[in-house]
Amino acid sequence: MIPVRININTEWREILVEPGERLIDTLRDRFLLTGTKEGCGEGQCGTCTINFNGKAVLSCLMLTVQADNGHILTIEGLQDGLDLHPLQTAFLTESAVQCGYCTPGMIMAGHALIKDHPEPDDSLVKHCLANNLCRCTGYEKPIQAILKAATEMKEKSHD
Amino acid sequence: MRNTPDIKEFHRPKTVTEAIGLLSQQDNGTVLIAGGTDLLPRRQSGRTGVTKNKLVDISGLGLNYIRETQDAFLIGAATDINTLASSPVFKTSPYTAIIEAALAHSTLTLRNRATLGGNLCNASPHADLALPLLVLDAVLVMEGPHGQKTINLDNFFIGPHCTVLEPSEILTEIRIPRMPEKSGANFIKLTRQHTAIDMAVVNAATCLSIKNGICISARIALGSVGPHPFRAKKAEAFMENKTLVKNTLQTAALFQEAAGLAAKEASPIDDIRATAAYRKEMIPVLLQQSLGKSLERSLS
């Protein structure tokens, strides 16, 4: 077992893990953060996307030991008390959710994008979502939702 | 709790020397991991490379950097591909081909973890970053129990997923020499669909250096059409000392002939992405476009 210290949704956690334990399993099984979903488990579908040190990464393609001393943000860490994050609100109001399985991954990919590019254009959002598969709603609405959230977050930051 | 198949140990050395020590003492059971975006999915699906179950993590060795010296660019092997893609250092010709290949590699999300050294050491026949580095005459720095050695990237690959790197050696740095003035390079990639995640049907890079209207050096590299990325040296030799003027029929004819020669040097196979015959047809199409762009860039 290997000792690992990870900051998950602003809280430092210390755990002992097997060398082969995947980050997605640590999040879901140890910390019950089941908002992060597993799809293909091979890095193709993007359903397990989280933010690691501010960047979008696939939690099925990371070992927990690789996240040692890092900062993780999952979908559960986005909302502020009972208030949804602008990205979550935009996915609702734009009807960008159907079955919802791919949604946490898309929102976390969008979250990392907006952090680095507060004013993304259509093309950048498409590149951002290129690693996120949706099998029901399609991509147009999630793209619109991310653009809308970016605009709202920018306006809010000027308030 | 699920475990990635058969990973028994995970070591986090703090120095290159310590990492080499780990690689040397353990008999053949160790494998390096940086981002893990290739190593881990290969284990999940039970494909090749699963026999080694002791991982040595090289992300803590300070190998994430891009530096400039008077005669070269130095890139740490553990530099992630998005860092490479957004580096201002490569915004001038002919180094822009590195950015083109970096942006064509997988997806924005995967590129946050995937590293340049990983892309080279995995030695996939499709490795996008190998192509601009081949045409820019990149040199690899490797450290092992007997010290440091350098090797041209051109001599690095020996087969699919196979390189000259010894089990106890680590690729630490990629050096790109400064090219002559009036050099232009380009990376080009054909995929089945507009899905970013797919690997190339054919990928290629070219670089032309021009002096007084004459091609003083030509580099043509091809990927996905042989056991590993390679330089089409007969085509390169053909281009040298030719007078090149952009947008002329004479130059277009020279490019066509060089591209045809390069296609003859390729040995593609049929796979799920394309047939060997289709790949062979596409090589000259891509190379003519790429040579045209490289020439244009060398003159601007």
pLDDT exceeds 60 at position B48: no
d(CA A124, CA B112): 15
Instruction: Express each pLDDT in A48-69 by its tens digit.
Output: 999 999 999 999 999 999 999 9
Band of pLDDT at residue B154, cut at 50, 70 and 90: very high
Q: What gap in Å lies between CA B262 and CA B284, rounded to an integer? A: 8
Using CB atoms, pick whichever of B8, B55, B110 lies closest to residue A43: B110
Q: How far is CA A111 from CA A44, A50, A146, B30, B107, in A?
A: 19, 9, 8, 36, 16
Tell me: pLDDT of A12 over 90: yes
Q: What pLDDT score does A84 carry?
A: 97
Report, as an integer, the average pLDDT of A79-86.
95
- Residue in chain B lying closest to A105 (CA): B109
B2 touches chain A (CB under 8 A): yes
pLDDT at B15: 97
All domains in chain B, ordered by first residue: 9-57 (3.30.43.10), 66-177 (3.30.465.10), 183-299 (3.30.390.50)
Q: What pLDDT score does B21 carry?
A: 94
Q: Using an 8 Å CB-CB cutoff, list chain A residues near B2.
A: 21-22, 25
A86-158: CATH, from 1.10.150.120, 3.30.300.20, 1.10.1380.10, 2.40.50.140:
1.10.150.120
pLDDT confidence band for B180 (50 / 70 / 90): very high
Question: Which of A67-71, B96-100, B193-197, B286-290 is predicted least confidently?
Answer: B193-197
| Predicted model pTM | 0.95
pLDDT of residue B5: 67
What mean pLDDT comes out for the span B206-226? 97
Choose among A20, A52, A127: nearest Cβ to B4: A20
- pLDDT exceeds cutoff 80 at B201: yes
Q: Is the pLDDT of residue B42 over 90?
A: no
Domain residue limits, chain A: 2-77, 86-158
Residue B1: pLDDT over 60: no
Interface test with B, best of A58, A68, A115, A133 (most B CBs within 10 A): A58
Chain A residues touching B12 at Cβ < 8 A? 65, 68
B112 at A interface, C-beta within 8 A: yes
Check whether A76 has a pLDDT greater than 70: yes
For B106, which residue in chain A has the nearest alpha carbon?
A: A131
Task: State mean pLDDT over B287-291.
Answer: 98
Evaluated on CA atoms A7, A8, A11, A16, the torsion sign reads negative
CATH topology of A2-77 equal to that of A86-158?
A: no
Please state, rounded to an integer, the average pLDDT across all residues of chain B: 94
Residue A125 with chain B: CB contacts under 8 Å: none
Q: From A50, which residue of chain B is nearest by alpha-carbon distance?
A: B109
Please give the pLDDT value at position A157: 84
Q: Is the dihedral of CA A50, A55, A56, A58 positive or negative?
A: negative
Q: What is the mean pLDDT of residues B246-255?
A: 96
* Selected residue of B8, B14, B108 to mutate for chain A interface (largest A Cβ count, 10 A): B108
Q: B108 to chain A nearest CA, in Å?
A: 6
Which residues lie below 8 Å from residue A158, measured CB to CB, with a gap of 6+?
Answer: none
pLDDT at position B195 is 65
- To the nearest whole angstrom, how far is the Cα of A159 from the nearest Cα of chain B? 31
Nearest CA in chain B to A110: B109
Q: Is CATH 3.40.109.10 the classification given to domain A2-77? A: no
CA distance A26 to A37: 12
Average pLDDT over residues B227-246: 97
For B295, phi then psi, to 5°, come to -65, -45
Mean pLDDT of B82-109: 96
ipTM > 0.85 (yes/no)? yes
Average pLDDT over residues B60-72: 96
Per-residue model confidence (pLDDT) at position B45: 66
Res B10 pLDDT > 80:
yes
pLDDT-based confidence at residue B183 (cuts at 50, 70, 90): very high
Query: So what's the pLDDT on residue B157?
Result: 98
